[in-house]
Amino acid sequence: MRFEAATIKDIARSLGFSPSTVSRALRNCNDISETTKQLVLDYANKINYTPNPIAVSLKAKRSRSIGVIVHEIASSFFSQIINGIESVARENGYNIIITQSLGSYENEMSITRMLASRSIDGCLISVAPETADLCHFTNLQERGLPIVFFDRIVEDLPGHKVLIDNKLGGYKGAHHLLKNQCRRIAFIGDSPLQYITAMRLEGYKKALEEHHMAPDESLIKFCPHDGADYYEVEAAMQELFDGDHKPDAIFTSTDKLTIAAMRCCRDMKLNIPGTVALAGFSNMENTDLFCPSLTVIRQPAIQMGRVSARLLIKSIESKRPVADYERQLLPVELRIGESSKARVTVLPSDVLPLR
């Protein structure tokens, strides 16, 4: 049972005008007399008239709503992003339709289909790690739907892209550990096929190079399930700490891996930072209360959401199809905690010979 809202017709009938006059008065057209305008406005105000957005949408062929696809709503990083998106959307009179792919290609497909049929005006997407085939996105784009990719982007698709300086993130993390006397820094990332992982790894390697060290492939591990599968991380850690030549530091390239690695160290009784230093990407709050407090690479997630939303709305509202696509690189921040602290003495055996 729903209350029937007042319509333009109702106002017209009550005031003895035609619907079109009322419509014009309400939208402040300048070919209407001041008196009529006031009359209509006052009455509309009095009866608390609000236009029916559905009817407006049908007429205007746009819905003022934008779709958002993230992996998981309940993650620090993505919820911060959504926060940013929501605020910009609302400032601009858009609402957002939030969906989560939970990292699955299947879900992403069905969500995309759902969104496509929902007459959204545009879409903000962080691509699921599983996704290889991109035609569900191409479909959308062929229909003329503007898409902005953020965070986990795909290189081969047109569209604005908003991401952090992933390479810089990897560099900053590794550089910091190197500065703290670490010489055998393990890198744990999710799938190397992920653009962001590849870039973070590049940054890591660049830092090593600057210190005249060659990357040791046995120290580079990938956990394609991104810490969702704890055993995968456990296995990687065990391989790392199995031989004689153990790492003296770990750098993790995603939020989940950072937490998983920390948990693993605890389970394996590896003292942080005494036995092994730890630094990694994380957007969790309060990691300074961890034991030990975490050294993290933090992404400006809210800003990423805001920037993405702004770009999307700009595309939506531009008259002509957007010709060249922007690529926004946002900075990353290194937050230093105890977990990456330099050990007091540096034994010679800890130093990797320069090659």
Partner DNA sequence: GTGAAAGCGCTAACAA
Partner DNA sequence: TTGTTAGCGCTTTCAC
Q: Which residues of this protein are in contact with its own copies, per CB under 8 A?
A: 1-3, 5, 50-55, 57-58, 61-63, 65, 72-76, 78-80, 82-83, 86-87, 90, 95-100, 111, 114, 116-119, 142-145, 259, 262-263, 266, 284-286, 289-293, 302, 319-321
Q: What is the length of the chain? A: 355
Task: Residue 26: name its binding partner from its own copies, DNA, none (Cβ under 5 to 8 Å by kind).
Answer: DNA
Amino acid symbol at 253: S
Say how many residues touch DNA, by CB under 7 A: 28
Interacting residues with DNA between 227 and 266 (CB under 7 A): none
Residues 351 and 187: beta-carbon distance below 8 Å: no
Helix (H) or strand (E) holding 221: strand 220-222
Place of tokens 């939208």: 27
Which among 56-64, 77-85, 143-151, 182-190 is the span making contact with DNA, rule CB under 7 A? Answer: 56-64
Binder among 2, 59, 143, 355 for DNA (CB under 7 A): 59
Nearer to its own copies by Cβ, of 63 and 204: the residue is: 63
Residue 27 interacting entry, from DNA, its own copies, none, C-beta within 5 to 8 Å by type:
DNA
Alpha-carbon torsion, ordered 315, 316, 320, 321, to 10 deg: 60
Question: Rounded to whole angstroms, how far apart are CA atoms 111 and 170?
Answer: 32
With CB cut-offs between 5 and 8 Å by kind, which of DNA, its own copies, none does residue 9 bind?
DNA
Q: How far apart are CA 265 and CA 268, in angstroms?
A: 5
Site string for DNA, 203-222 (x = CB under 7 A): --------------------
200 contributes a contact to DNA by CB under 7 A? no
Choose between 36 and 107: whose C-beta lies nearer to DNA.
Answer: 36
CB of 146 to its own copies, least distance (A): 9
Strands (E), 52-110: 65-70, 95-100
Q: Are 295 and 336 in contact (CB under 8 A)?
A: yes
Which entry of its own copies, DNA, none binds 23, CB below 5 to 8 A by partner kind? DNA
Element (H, E) at 237: helix 230-240
**Beta strand pairing call for 160-164 and 249-252:** unpaired
Smallest distance from the beta carbon of 82 to its own copies, in angstroms?
Answer: 5
Q: Is 69 helix (H, G, I), strand (E, B) or coil?
A: strand
- Judged by CB, which is closer to DNA: 34, or 142? 34
Per-residue binder mask for DNA (CB under 7 A), 133-172, x = binder: ----------------------------------------
Cα separation, 123 vs 151, whole angstroms:
14
For position 20 contacting DNA by CB under 7 A, the verdict is yes
Q: Answer with the entry of its own copies, DNA, none that 344 interacts with (C-beta below 5 to 8 A by kind).
A: none
**Closer by beta carbon to its own copies, 28 or else 48:** 48
Shortest approach of its own copies to residue 184 CB, angstroms? 24
Contact status: 60 vs DNA (CB under 7 A): yes
Sign of CA dihedral 32, 33, 34, 37: negative
Is residue 307 within 8 Å of 323, Cβ to Cβ? no
DSSP assignments along 8-29, one per residue: HHHHHHHHT--HHHHHHHHTT-
Please tell me whether residue 217 adopts helix, strand or coil conformation.
helix
Could you say whether residue 26 binds DNA (CB under 7 A)? Answer: yes
Which residue shows structure tokens 């009179």?
93
Residues in 94-133 that interact with DNA by CB under 7 A: none
Handedness of CA 104, 109, 114, 119 (dihedral sign): positive
Residue ranges in contact with DNA by CB under 7 A: 4-5, 7-9, 16-21, 23-24, 26-27, 31-33, 35-36, 51-52, 55-56, 58-61
